[in-house]
Amino acid sequence: MDSLRTILAIAAERGMELCQFDVVGAYLNADLDKEIYMCQPPGYDDGSGRVLRLQKALYGLKQGGRKWNQRFNRVMVEDLGFTRLNSEPCVYMRSDRCGLTMVGVHVDDMISAADGPELIAELEAGLKRFFEITDLGTPRLLLGLELTRDGSSITIRQTHFIRSTLERFGMADCAPVNTPMDPNVRLLKEPDDADLSDMKDIPYQAAIGTLMYAALGTRPDISYAVQALSQFSSRPGPAHWTAVKRVFRYLKGTLDYGITYRRKGEQQPRAYYDHFRLEGYSDADWGANPVDRMSISGYAFLIGSGVIAWSSKKQAVVALSSTEAEYMAISYAARQAIWMRSMLAELTFVQERATKLRADNQSAIALSKDNVYHARSKHIDIQHHFIRECIESDTIALSYVPTDENVADLFMKALPRERFHQLRKQLGIFSDAELRGSVEGKGH
């Protein structure tokens, strides 16, 4: 979903037109490269006992999805003049004197962002030469994400998905709380057998999977809680289930919250937005897991006013110091930055300067920039040392940020209410009421 959020952030920054299309019977357009036969379907059997040779793919055919993708790609590239991104094969772009057109594809659903309605019309006309297309107009729902456009802003949220999730798990009438996780509660593995017997009918894994979809879509504010609770999926106890229900209670009170991308500096000419910058934050919590003492890595990347990519992940090896944990987190964030720089460059938004990556550990920053700690840190796996190469090649510009200003802290630990709400806003996560207040404030 990083690529979808990137398209929406760019669209908000440039004031682009948005449109959604659906291909009717997509798989039936796919060509087959080998002979495949089928029995005559019920209702169309002529009683001859003959079989039918397929001329096109069918839904349910194991190669149907791949063949449809190949067919669609040929049309987009060879017939309509689009370029398929190497960094993200589900995204296409075309840039000419009329402007930029971007297309994001998921099976047979498409979202297009273009510099004008005439480019949207041109894309639709081109697609209709080859497929039966349904024009769904301004996007409202895509991949379970609800899209709202209000002037110069685009907001994505999952209100209906979260509401149905609360109903599914019997939490529709729960009492809301202000944070998804209690900072004073520490969860451990290995509940006793009595506790396990109480959990046999509890849908813990299903709840975690459902929450994870929200966390990956539009709710980075629950990412840490979901990551922390997912490690107990194989052997959850009552305390873990209570913590999961707290996440539900938090979502109950923040149903209409979502990520908002706003256009900044509306008086600037459009060309100004061709050079907007990707910027990131990295953080680590050393030895955070009381069970195995693994550290937590986290990052957040923003374009303009809203977060487009984030992660909260347990590190694969035990870090021997806070410096080492932060250093590995920086390396992890740098890999994401490199991929995003590549995608943006293919979309014509070349990052002419190094991407700013901010961290709050001075020792880790020093280690990343040179070998001043070489004797003490040479045991760190080689895979993490590539951050030095990123800095030397002017791909990443690593700098210090005070802990109070590091938004990646949201992905490290359970935070107290005020701190949590502060970072949530910095990521561009707002409620409907907050957005209306912002618009009314500008009106005055």
3-state SS assignment for residue 221: helix
Give the pTM: 0.89
- Per residue in 376-408, pLDDT (tens digit) is 555 566 666 788 889 989 999 999 999 999 999
Distances (CA, A) of 403 to 16, 240, 394, 412: 36, 29, 25, 12
Neighbours of 318 (CB within 10 A): 14
Q: Who's near 380: CB < 8 A, 6+ residues apart?
A: 324, 327, 328
Kindly report which listed range (215-219, 252-256, 292-296, 417-421) carries the lowest average pLDDT score. Answer: 292-296
Classify residue 402 by burial, with Cβ atoms within 10 Å: 0-12, 13-18, 19+.
exposed
- Write out pLDDT tens, residues 117-143: 999 999 999 999 999 999 999 999 988
119 within 8 A of 98, measured Cβ to Cβ = yes
Amino acid at 321: S
**Dist CA 387 CA 392 (whole Å):** 9
Could you please state the CATH topology (level 3) that the domain comprising 275-413 is classified under.
Nucleotidyltransferase; domain 5 (3.30.420)
Q: Where are the domains of the chain?
A: 1-40+48-143, 160-251, 275-413
Residue 329 CA from chain centroid, whole number: 18
Using alpha carbons, list the distances in angstroms from residue 231 to 36, 228, 295, 402.
45, 6, 13, 30
The per-residue DSSP string of 327-357 comes to HHHHHHHHHHHHHHHHHHHHTT----SPEEE
Q: Is the pLDDT of residue 162 over 60?
A: yes
Q: How many residues does the chain have?
A: 444
Q: Among 420, 423, 413, which Cα is nearest to 287's?
A: 413
Pairing of strands 306-314, 429-430: unpaired
Residues 6+ apart with CB under 8 A from 331: 383, 384, 385, 386, 387
128 three-state secondary structure = helix
Cβ contacts of 234 within 8 Å, gap of 6 or more: none
- Residues 6 or more apart whose CB falls under 8 angstroms from that of 68 comprise 26, 27, 29, 30, 57, 107, 108
For the stretch 26-65, pLDDT in tens is: 999 988 888 999 898 888 888 888 999 988 888 888 888 9
Domain covering 1-40+48-143: architecture = 2-Layer Sandwich (3.30)
How much is the pLDDT for 21? 96
Whether 374 and 320 have beta carbons less than 8 Å apart is answered as no
Per the listing, tokens 């932060």 go with: 326
Percentage of the residues of the chain whose pLDDT score is greater than 70 = 90
Question: How does residue 272 score in pLDDT terms, banded at 50, 70 and 90?
Answer: very low
| Model confidence at 78: pLDDT above 90 | yes
Q: Answer for the pair 265, 272: CB distance below 8 angstroms, yes or no.
A: yes
Q: What is the largest CA-CA distance in the chain?
A: 83
Looking at residue 383, its pLDDT comes to 62
In this structure, are residues 72 and 90 in contact, taking their beta carbons and an 8 Å threshold? no
Q: Name 402's Cβ contacts closer than 8 Å, sequence gap at least 6.
A: 360
